[in-house]
Amino acid sequence: MKICVCVKQVPDSWAEKKLTAGDSTLDRAAADRVVNELDEYAVEEALRIVEAGEGEVTILSMGPDEAADSVRKAISMGAHAGIHISDPALHGSDALATSLVLAKALEGRGFDLIMFGSESTDARMSVVPAMVSARLGLPQMTFANKVEVSGSNLTIHRVTDYGYDEVQSSLPAVVSVVEKTNEPRYPSFKNIMAAKKAPMETLSLADIGLDAATVGLANAWSEVKDFAERPAKAKGTVITDEGNGAEKIEEFLVTQKFI
């Protein structure tokens, strides 16, 4: 079983995110960079699948030079190899370009299963897995909270508003998993050391046979026209209890239409 997990490097969820004044893209240097939290569930699920049988897990990421750290971090959970697509022309790429690059990098590598998180915590478009499956002509199995592989068959529980659907497909296929589907493991010291030596391919657009004119900010299908700083938080209302605190709180809740 050959599994590839697509992992995005994102600014830490807790950090205040900033846009670059010049081109309105995310200022990635302004915050600590981490592995997209939701992708850790996909890595964990992939590792459990190969551990229950046999196979290898490869981590794939498209991003600036620093994204290599996130590939190594994901490998240190127990994966076997990494592929990092990095090229200056990729700056400002939209979901269409991201899916094109990932699909091109995946093409012809013979993965049985290609796994994703369900969304990134920075842009949250939740479309890249579906776009990659469409580009590769593979079944798309999205929003999975349970993934089972048996021979060349795949079964997932697909989360819905009313519970879940059991969906089946043949392999190869593309799967995206939802959060809390498992408990992602912490990298062990042994795996951290092994990740330093794990095979890692660093590829440019030319290496995967893509023209720079098909990606990047200039070729994005949508554009951030304008943005403004979030307004400062308004001061809260302090109610001093002078024997009538309860009435004052009630009055406040009524004026705010809470009661």
Ligand X SMILES: Cc1cc2nc3c(=O)[nH]c(=O)nc-3n(C[C@H](O)[C@H](O)[C@H](O)COP(=O)(O)OP(=O)(O)OC[C@H]3O[C@@H](n4cnc5c(N)ncnc54)[C@H](O)[C@@H]3O)c2cc1C
Shortest distance, position 19 Cβ to ligand X, whole Å: 5
Q: Report CA 126 to chain centroid distance, whole Å.
A: 9
Indicate the residue among 76 and 176 with the shorter CB distance to ligand X: 176
Closest CA to 17 of 26, 5, 7, 6: 26
Shortest distance, position 259 Cβ to ligand X, whole Å: 39
Is 125 an interacting residue with respect to ligand X (CB under 6 A)? yes
Q: Interaction with ligand X in 136-155: which residues (CB under 6 A)?
A: none
What DSSP letter does each residue of 88-100 carry, written as one string? Answer: GGGTT--HHHHHH
Is 104 an interacting residue with respect to ligand X (CB under 6 A)? no
Indicate the residue among 123 and 239 with the shorter CB distance to ligand X: 123
Is 184 an interacting residue with respect to ligand X (CB under 6 A)? no
Is 222 an interacting residue with respect to ligand X (CB under 6 A)? yes
Nearest-Å Rg of the Cα atoms of the chain is 22
Judged by CB under 6 A, which stretch of 69-77, 91-99, 103-111, 146-154 contacts ligand X? 91-99
Six token digits for residue 253:
């809740």
Is 93 an interacting residue with respect to ligand X (CB under 6 A)? yes
Shortest distance, position 140 Cβ to ligand X, whole Å: 12
What length does the chain have?
A: 259
Is 116 an interacting residue with respect to ligand X (CB under 6 A)? yes
- Selected from 68, 200, 220, 239, the binder of ligand X by CB under 6 A is 220
- Selected from 56, 112, 122, 201, the binder of ligand X by CB under 6 A is 122
Q: How far is CA 191 from CA 12, 68, 78, 187, in A?
A: 23, 16, 6, 6
Is 95 an interacting residue with respect to ligand X (CB under 6 A)? yes
Where are any strands of DSSP class E within the chain? 2-6, 9-11, 33-35, 56-62, 81-85, 113-117, 140-150, 153-160, 163-170, 173-177, 200-203
Q: Which long-range contacts (CB under 8 A, 24 or more apart) does 46-55 make?
A: 46/3, 46/5, 46/79, 46/113, 46/115, 47/77, 47/78, 47/79, 47/185, 48/182, 49/1, 49/3, 49/113, 49/147, 49/149, 50/1, 50/3, 53/1, 53/149, 54/1, 55/1, 55/2, 55/3, 55/112
Is 219 an interacting residue with respect to ligand X (CB under 6 A)? no
Shortest distance, position 89 Cβ to ligand X, whole Å: 14
Judged by CB under 6 A, which stretch of 55-63, 161-169, 196-204, 251-259 contacts ligand X? 55-63
Shortest distance, position 222 Cβ to ligand X, whole Å: 4
Judged by CB under 6 A, which stretch of 118-126, 161-169, 230-238, 247-255 contacts ligand X? 118-126
**Site residues, ligand X (CB under 6 A):** 6-8, 19, 25-26, 36, 38-39, 60-63, 93-95, 98, 102, 116-117, 119-120, 122-129, 220-224
